[in-house]
A and B are shown apart, each in its own frame.
Chain A
Amino acid sequence: MAEKIKWKVLSVVLPLGLCVIFVALLQAQVIQNLFHLKLIQLPLPSQVLLELLENVDKIASDAVITMRCVIPGMLIGAVLGIALAAFATVLPNVGYGSLTLMTALNSVPVLALAPLMNRWFSSDDVAKAAVVTIVCMGGMSVNAFKGFNTLPAFSLDMMKSYASTKGQIFMKLRFPNSISYLFVALKTNVATGMIAAIISEFYSKKTAGLGYMIKNSLKVGNHKVRGWAYILVTAVISIVIYGLICMLEKKAVKGGRTNKK
């Protein structure tokens, strides 16, 4: 028991300690000197924090502009991905190919998608959300398909022996079984979705949003610190959403049946 508590404490203390050491090394310019980087390339943590506090309003409004495309995009992508996986599960012979196609579509680089969506949709926001939807759909469909089909041994036979319909098998066996797989996909989609949105903003016509500001601040010589502040905010937003999904997951699989090994 004591052993368990010790590791629980250590699993918080150790990473935090590393973080503190790293920030301190940055602040003391040790890392910069080690890699021969100028402050303009890798600014001090204090500079970034100051910049962040000074521009908090502007950064918040940019964050809203980006996130109002990312969140709907992620949700729609998740729903479509699950629907596609369900289709491929219920009609395996017909549907399987659609999943393969989906993985192929998924490897179309985001940066080819982004300008394309800009041409398809006149609204900038819709174009951005569409890119996020497409990238999130791929990951979700593959994971959901795995969840629908990696069933405990004999469970399918049991359901069949009870003469359950395909619908019942799906609702009572496949879907509950897939929950933890769905969450894995949701979690990976946070990063994928954010990346997609940021890269789309590199190409968008609008001159606001996290991605635009990152790219633009880094281009302009004396605004590099601002770029870092935006990067920090972007990372924090992703981590917060990730944390929220983890909390949801704990709620959803409460009472026991996780499918992890």
Chain B
Amino acid sequence: MKKWIIKHRRGISTAAWIIALFVVWEFVAFLLADVFHDSMAENKLPYVHDVAVRLVDNFGTIIVQAKITLVRALYGYMWGAILGVVLAILMRLSKIVEKTAMPYLVMSQMIPILGLAPIIFCLVKDLNTARTVIAAYITFFPISVNMLNGLKSVDEQKLMMMKSYASNKWQLYIKLMIPASLPYLFVGLRLAAPMAVTASILVDTLSAKDGIGYIIVYSLAGGGTVGQFWPAVVTSAVMGVLSYYVVALIERIVIPWQKNKEV
């Protein structure tokens, strides 16, 4: 029993904090509603159990919308990943490309792209393209930088060995460089996953007819079922966290030898 506790202490700590959060939340909601009699209490912070009940009530709708948002996020995420990896390899192959592209890579992160969602929409005129562009735009940076980092930290001796076998560039990359940088790539992929979800949710709010972001905005404006706001917010948070852990799970499957090592 004691061993079990020590082994899972991080998990237990997390669970305890989640419970604590809900307790505090419930208590603050109680203060707002029944002690201060704040007329806006319902809007500021409703009871947790109310939210839970509404989540169950609206579960069908929310799951359907969440799925729509997730699938769209995945599409942009894939493009971002492909672009990021290709760019990293190009930068590793040619120093000229690296020197030219790197400042732009950094700068691209300084442009508040999510805030520019309306303009991207105005440029491409199609919501789904806009979503893909934005999701790809914010995901490719961490992926690209981490991949490049990985390609650069391949063991020098292994490189020498491949060269002494007279392997060509193609073999070098396929057999050594890319497999060796997979752990780094996954660091980037993990970081980027929640970002893609956020981007997708944001684009939902622009003028889409569906998706979880649409529920959030629509219920805020009061046009829809107000009761869906809080469940939708909670769901969107869960989606972000979940996406991270799904990628982490895929990582375990794809590169099991890295299980206990952190890059």
User: Majority SS of interface residues in chain A?
Assistant: helix
A96-B10, A108-B237, A261-B153 known; A14 and B112 CB under 8 Å?
no
Contact of A41 among B44, B111, B122 (CB under 8 A): B122
- How many Å from the CB of A31 to the closest CB on chain B? 11
Task: Give Cα A112 to B14, complex, Å.
Answer: 24
- How many Å from the CB of B100 to the closest CB on chain A? 4
What 0/1 readout, one digit per residue, does chain B (21-53) give for beta carbons within 8 Å of chain A?
100000000000000000010011000000000
A107-B241, A194-B115 known; A235 and B13 CB under 8 Å?
no
Task: Give Cα A228 to B114, complex, Å.
Answer: 15
A108-B236, A214-B115 known; A95 and B13 CB under 8 Å?
yes
What 0/1 readout, one digit per residue, does chain A (8-20) give for beta carbons within 8 Å of chain B?
0011001101100
Are the C-beta atoms of B44 and A120 separated by less than 8 Å? Answer: yes
- How many Å from the CB of B40 to the closest CB on chain A? 6
Report the count of interface residues on A (CB-CB < 8 A).
55
Which residues of A are found within 8 Å of B10, using beta-carbon distances?
A: 96-97, 100
A-B contacts at CB below 8 angstroms, number = 147
Are the C-beta atoms of B13 and A239 separated by less than 8 Å? Answer: no
Which residues of A are found within 8 Å of B12, using beta-carbon distances?
A: 97
- How many Å from the CB of B158 to the closest CB on chain A? 17
Which residues of A are found within 8 Å of B40, using beta-carbon distances?
A: 119
Query: A259 on the interface (CB 8 Å rule)?
Result: no
Task: Give Cα A161 to B15, complex, Å.
Answer: 34
Task: Give Cα A18 to B103, complex, Å.
Answer: 11
Query: B4 on the interface (CB 8 Å rule)?
Result: no
Are the C-beta atoms of B110 and A191 separated by less than 8 Å? Answer: yes
Contact of B202 among A107, A111, A261 (CB under 8 A): A111
Which residues of B are found within 8 Å of A42, using beta-carbon distances?
A: 123
- How many Å from the CB of A19 to the closest CB on chain B? 8
Are the C-beta atoms of B116 and A97 separated by less than 8 Å? Answer: no
Are the C-beta atoms of B240 and A108 separated by less than 8 Å? Answer: yes
Partner-contacting stretch, out of B74-82, B213-221, B252-260: B213-221
Q: Assign chain B's interface to a size class.
A: 35 or more
Task: Give Cα A116 to B45, complex, Å.
Answer: 9
Which residues of B are found within 8 Å of A110, using beta-carbon distances?
A: 114, 198, 202
Query: B188 on the interface (CB 8 Å rule)?
Result: no
Query: B183 on the interface (CB 8 Å rule)?
Result: no
Which residues of B are found within 8 Å of A231, using beta-carbon distances?
A: 111, 116, 119
A97-B10, A111-B201 known; A10 and B96 CB under 8 Å?
yes
- How many Å from the CB of B151 to the closest CB on chain A? 14
- How many Å from the CB of A138 to the closest CB on chain B? 10
Which residues of B are found within 8 Å of A120, using beta-carbon distances?
A: 44
Which residues of B are found within 8 Å of A96, using beta-carbon distances?
A: 9-10, 13-14
What 0/1 readout, one digit per residue, does chain A (188-222) give for beta carbons within 8 Å of chain B?
10110011001100100000000100110011000
Query: B118 on the interface (CB 8 Å rule)?
Result: yes
Are the C-beta atoms of A234 and B100 separated by less than 8 Å? Answer: no
What 0/1 readout, one digit per residue, does chain B (195-225) give for beta carbons within 8 Å of chain A?
0011001100100000001001100100000
